[in-house]
Amino acid sequence: MSLAAMPAHVAIIMDGNGRWAKSRFLPRSMGHRQGAQSLKVAIQAAREWGIRYLSVYVFSTENWSRSQDEVTFLMGFLTDMLVSQTPELIENDVRVCVMGNRVVLSEDLQRQIASSESASAHCQSLQLNLLINYGGRDEIVQAVQQLIAQGVSASEVTESRVAAHLYTKDIPDPDMVIRTGGDIRTSNFLLWQSAYAEYFFIPTLWPDFNRAAFESVLTTYRSRERRFGGVHA
């Protein structure tokens, strides 16, 4: 694939793991395991195509309402995946960054997040943002709370000041957001940052999202005209 007009930042809502498993009469955990393989493919493709930032919705602030068995599995699975995959990510020059509220995560997961981030901090080819216990509204509320705590008055609140207190303060906003699984909604994902992102809602369930599907969406993205509220020259 040509690198011309490639987005710098791609964000993905990885939806459809449970439905993929159900359609095959498998436990939901198998859908999550297969989804992890799709993520590996997306990471490798993004790196090869020169995409600098890849943000993926791993676990939302609303996902705690799922069954205790599934939540327990996911927390352990995330920990194990970071342990097993971080060396390979580092070998491929991929930096790991976790965005979200970590306070309520297990101590094991918090320790492994810190370890993976520290070990990969020098990597530069691709920054992989894993959004864990993340919610767009919660992120904005936290940013406003921080401004208030700093004594910033209402008249001094600006877009740039709010943006400086978001998890993504050091990286560009996403150029495009992909949601797999067929649902057409944003699900509290990067609400502030995606104000002018190009959205792609595709029917493919996340475990079936492969390199060809990724390239197809990117080809469509490259055919769009981004005006950011302006008009065509």
Catalytic residues: 15, 63
Burial 75-99 (b: 16+ CB within 10 A, else e): beebbebbeebbeebbeeebbbbbb
How open is the CA angle 49-132-158, to the nearest 5 degrees?
85
196/229 Cα distance (integer angstroms)? 8
Contact 49, 3 (CB under 8 A): yes
> In degrees to the nearest 10, what's the CA dihedral of 52, 58, 62, 65?
180
* Alpha carbon distances (Å) from 23 to 5, 35, 59, 147: 37, 14, 22, 47
Q: Which residues contact 15 (CB under 8 A, 6 or more apart)?
A: 179, 180, 181, 183, 187, 205, 206
Contact 20, 38 (CB under 8 A): no
- E strand or H helix at 179: strand 176-179
Per the DSSP assignment, residues forming a β-bridge with 127 are: 53, 95
Q: Which of 165, 167, 77 is nearest to 127 (CA)?
A: 167
